């Protein structure tokens, strides 16, 4: 009743005001209401770190394929827009740095709608050069580090300018594990059995795992080229090749050899000896408790000369 009493008295006052003053009063009321509404919205939706500015979070989804030079992997990008308005983007550029070194740089060219007060997950197919990763990873591993500082940055390109801007740059920094790729090396190869015309031969492979979790190679298969002779020897192992965390294992791999191809390669063996080049094609699927490596396809090519094997054997003996 008290509210109705004051309202009743206020109405004649407003009605007696001239039109410009009425408009001004209404505008003031709307401004005050807007400020109050914005205050409550901000209080309920802002992030403690970024406030009401859109933010991104990046994580490594899964490695799908590993070769001797590149890694195919997916990045999971979460974009959170706490603003009461949405906006559309034509695409965005992004890059990832590990300890200040750029390891991934790419573009996402699909249109993306970022709704008001909502989060959007985007999967980014990416390709990483092993040389870039190995260089920085080896340096950190030599220091005993098992994690690294990752920096992700992206530039969203708006379909329509917002507040006079046609793009928005967002970034994030995070400490994540230092992922190391498994390494495969040929450490022994019995050439005498070729001279004895055997139908099979044993090669020894060294599998190295510098990660903090164990890995397994499922049903690995092998092909060996020797000199100009392609597919001289082939073999498969229907089992798991297990490698513990921060360790190396040597496995003996039986390979069936093609006797006709051995005879063709005999002349190269005699003339070039230890300088004869070889190529090992290794194919497998990774098994790991770590989701990033789980079910990754591995296609590695190892090139070298027969003398390289002698060097490896000497290093293993020391």
Question: What pLDDT digit, counting tens, does each position of 210-234 carry?
Answer: 888 899 999 889 888 888 888 888 8
Q: Does residue 206 share a domain with residue 101?
A: no
Output the CA angle 6-11-16, nearest 5 degrees.
135
* 120 and 150 inside one domain: yes
**Dist CA 270 CA 264 (whole Å):** 11
State the chain's mean pLDDT as an integer: 77
In a domain, 50, yes or no: no
Instruction: Summarize pLDDT for 243-289 with one digit per residue, the tens.
Output: 998 899 988 888 887 767 766 766 666 566 667 788 888 899 988 88
Give the pLDDT score at 312. Answer: 47
| Half-sphere exposure at residue 273, Cβ-oriented, CA atoms within 13 angstroms | 2
pLDDT at residue 94, as a whole number: 93
Which residues lie below 8 Å from residue 50, measured CB to CB, with a gap of 6+? none
Q: Based on the domain organization, do 197 and 310 belong to the same domain?
A: yes
In this structure, are 313 and 187 located in the same domain? yes
d(CA 291, CA 73): 12
Same domain, yes or no: 67 and 167? yes
Read off the CATH number of the domain in which 278 is found.
2.60.40.10
Residue 63 within any structural domain of the chain: yes
Structure tokens at 203: 């090669």
How far apart are alpha carbons 36 and 53 in whole angstroms? 19
Using CA atoms, how far apart are residues 28 and 234, in angstroms rounded to an integer? 84
Query: Which of 144, 177, 210 corresponds to the end of one domain?
Result: 177
Which residue range(s) make up the domain with 114? 55-177
pLDDT of residue 10: 47
Whether 188 and 241 share a structural domain: yes
Domain count, the chain: 3
pTM of the model: 0.67
Same domain, 111 and 15: no
Pick the range with the lowest mean pLDDT from 106-110, 132-136, 198-202, 209-213: 198-202
Q: Are 215 and 297 contained in the same domain?
A: yes
């Amino acid at each position: 009743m008290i509210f109705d009493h004051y309202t009743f008295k206020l109405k004649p006052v407003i009605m007696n005001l001239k039109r410009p003053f009425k408009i001004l009063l209404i505008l003031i009321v709307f401004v005050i209401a807007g400020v109050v509404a914005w205050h409550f919205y901000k209080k309920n939706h802002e992030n403690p770190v970024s406030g009401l500015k859109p933010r991104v979070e990046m994580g490594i989804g899964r490695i799908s394929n590993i070769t001797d030079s590149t890694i195919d992997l997916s990045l999971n990008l979460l974009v959170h827009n706490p603003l009461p308005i949405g906006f559309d983007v034509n695409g965005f550029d992004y890059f990832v740095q590990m300890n200040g070194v750029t390891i991934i740089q790419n573009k996402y060219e699909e249109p993306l709608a970022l709704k008001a007060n909502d989060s959007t997950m985007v999967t980014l197919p990416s390709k990483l050069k092993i040389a870039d990763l190995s260089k920085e990873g080896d340096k950190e591993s030599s220091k005993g580090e098992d994690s690294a500082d990752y920096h992700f940055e992206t530039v969203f390109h708006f379909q329509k300018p917002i507040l006079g801007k046609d793009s928005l740059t967002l970034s994030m920094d995070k400490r994540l594990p230092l992922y190391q790729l498994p390494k495969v090396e040929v450490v022994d190869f019995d050439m005498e059995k070729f001279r004895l015309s055997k139908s099979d031969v044993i090669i020894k492979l060294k599998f190295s795992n510098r990660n903090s979790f164990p890995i397994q190679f499922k049903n690995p298969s092998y092909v060996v080229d020797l000199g100009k002779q392609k597919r001289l020897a082939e073999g498969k192992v229907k089992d798991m090749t297990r490698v513990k965390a921060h360790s190396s294992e040597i496995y003996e791999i039986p390979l069936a050899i093609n006797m006709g191809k051995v005879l063709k390669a005999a002349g190269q063996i005699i003339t070039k000896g230890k300088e004869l080049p070889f190529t090992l094609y290794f194919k497998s699927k990774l098994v790991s408790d770590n989701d990033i490596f789980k079910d990754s396809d591995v296609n590695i090519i190892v090139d070298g000369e027969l003398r390289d094997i002698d060097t490896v054997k000497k290093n293993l003996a020391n």
